[in-house]
A and B are shown apart, each in its own frame.
Chain A
Amino acid sequence: MKEIVPGDIARARIARRIASEFMGRDRTMIINLGVGIPTMVANFIRSDRIFIQAENGMMGVGPKAAEGEADSRLINAGREPVTETPGCSYFDSAASFGMIRGGHVDATVIGAFEVDQTGNIANWIIPNGRQLGVGGAMDLVSGAKQVVVAMRHNGSDGRPKLVKACSLPITGFHEADFVITELGVFRFIEGVLTLQEIAPEIDLTRLTELTEAPFVAAADIKVMDS
């Protein structure tokens, strides 16, 4: 199947859209970014009021370290060498997850294998015997004030990732607040999966075909920035 939006463009579009969501709130935001597309969100943030928390014990994560300036003991939760921002701080893992569980982190951006129509998220394991790890995924989805899912709209085999019911082990129940894909911006509004923006490449009929979960289109639906 030919991709409607090529991979690199899709990933950058998702990350940029999430960054603009946070920047548009015009207030101080503490955010946590998962690995993959979520990490790319940092590249699009232009604000001195958005602070990135890394669950391995850092508040105020800066850009990735330049080649030659990497410090193996200054890394993000994806093990990438990063830099400090002015006013950053370090703390132990219990304090870090205390921030998350205690509701002090405004939003977490995570990837997912599946999100279902009730906001259940499956993102920690595909039970194929090759993976054995949960990391902070369960703590993040249950603890952060808002959960923003950043994912491709369909899997590499074309299968919808927004589904009626998750088939993979659940990370957290009814925790998703936003799902942002290259084809649309979805928000759970009072438990109803609502399409707020649609990509310029497709129409509602085509998007419905590519989405297993039922959703409603917002009355003031907009076209997503390409």
Chain B
Amino acid sequence: MPDTSKIVSVKDAVAAIRSGDRIMVGSFGNAGYPENLVETMTASDLKDLTIISNDLGSPGIGLGKFLANGQIKALIGNYYNWNPDVARAYNAGEIDVCLVPQGSFAEAIRAAGVGIAAFFTPTAAGTVLGKDKETRDFNGRPHVLEHAIHADVALIKAYKADELGNLVYYKTARNFNPLMAMAATLTIAEVDDIVPVGSLDPECVVTPHLFVNMIIKKGEK
């Protein structure tokens, strides 16, 4: 019998999250975000969260609900123009926002997951977003030092998990999810389906089960 102890209720999964946590959430413009986890969290009294994500959905939609609910202390990400409430809250001094260029953001999350403390990249060298970062020339070109981005919790959306937590994804809903799955102390994966061990093609597994701590099902309490 395979060990199925990673499969939990959404309530139990969210109970493992603390106010003040740094939380990564997979998604790109509402594609590939863990809806059940986000809904349950926005119905909880969790607060002072640092949300690490590409964007923050739309006003009151998707990850935008965290902001509408006043649960956010800070954001680390790269594109908030789809949710103008972010600029409004930032200008009013209600939240901190740290912008990292999308490719550097993705690589910094990957770096955290694979044990790289920091890396040099040409992206943003000399710009406003590179100005407080250590700069060094490589091959005659300026590069900035980007530090790894780690989180307490990663909330992942995958298409299917097997009972061990091997994950496969769906089209462009993959985005940051496999990176974030590696970069947090606790990784919770929300999936459309949980299938028996052995039924996923090993050649197609994107996230091997060692990166996943809890599995919950979409749409189930």
Contacts and interface: CB of A to CB of B under 8 A. Distances in A.
**Chain A interface size, under 10 / 10 to 19 / 20 to 34 / 35 or more:** 35 or more
A94 B86 CA distance: 25
Nearest to A74: B171
B124 A138 contact: yes
A56 interface: yes
A101 B144 CA distance: 14
Given A72-B30, A73-B32, A97 B128 contact: no
B29 to A, nearest CB: 4
Contacts of A129: 87, 91
Contact of A79 (B30, B124, B125, B127): B30
Kindly name the residue among A54, A58, A100, A132 whose own CB sees the greatest number of chain B CB atoms within 10 A.
A132
Contact of A71 (B79, B87, B171): B171
Contact of A131 (B87, B101, B125, B128): B87
Q: Is the interface of A mostly helix, strand, loop or mixed?
A: loop
A90 B104 CA distance: 19
A108 B178 CA distance: 25
A216 to B, nearest CB: 27
B173 A138 contact: no
B78 A73 contact: no
B103 A97 contact: yes
Given A94-B109, A132-B87, A134-B79, A139 B123 contact: yes
A99 B163 CA distance: 33
A101 B87 CA distance: 28
A44 interface: no
B214 interface: no
B122 interface: yes
Nearest to A72: B31
Interface in B118-132: 121-129
A24 interface: no
A71 B143 CA distance: 38
A138 B172 contact: no
A57 to B, nearest CB: 5
Interface of B: 28-32, 54-55, 78-82, 84, 86-87, 90-91, 97, 99, 101-107, 109-110, 121-129, 169-179, 206
8 contacts: A55-B102, A58-B172, A75-B172, A96-B106, A134-B79, A134-B101, A135-B79, A170-B128
The 10 closest A-B pairs by CB, nearest first: A97-B103, A139-B103, A93-B106, A133-B79, A73-B173, A136-B102, A79-B29, A133-B81, A138-B101, A135-B79
